[in-house]
Amino acid sequence: MRAARRTALATAVRPVAFFGDCVAKTGSKKDPARKMAIEAARIAEADNCQDIVVLDLRGISPVTDYFVICTGASNRQMRTVADDVVEAGLKSGNKAYQIAGIDSPDWIVADFVDVVVHIFNESRRKYYDLELIWGEAPRVRWKRPVRRKTTEQ
């Protein structure tokens, strides 16, 4: 984890230009941060969030490796998603570093250091438009593959 390099939570929503010894990491399905981000996205889907996106920020941001961004329909739903993601994180050994906005009807942020989960209402999601700000970040496929049953006659 990058606790020593961690800056204020507000920095996590702005791209940071950096140079020097930054080396882009290669993707790995065994990456625990990637696994946590995918699990958070699946939890958001199970809790009926919309427009779920996982952004791979490795090599782009010195602050975190992944953003999970989703839209909730109500404050109660947003809190449920945050609670479920935090609980899943604890079960997998990923304690939330900080949770901000838990009582906010607009935006909840669960910060796991290597993964930051943003749960927006629709208007704040459009206003902040994190996908545009971090547009160069590749998107991570998080949905489970659909297995088709073959019918034999």
pLDDT for 12-38, tens place per residue? Answer: 333 333 323 333 344 555 789 999 999
Predicted pLDDT at 48: 96
Tokens of 63: 């602050």
Confidence of residue 146 (pLDDT cuts 50, 70, 90): confident
Predicted pLDDT at 148: 72
| pLDDT for residue 91 is more than 60 | yes
Predicted pLDDT at 87: 96
Predicted pLDDT at 54: 97
Domains of the chain: 29-133 (3.30.460.10)
Task: Tell me the pLDDT of the chain averaged across its residues.
Answer: 82
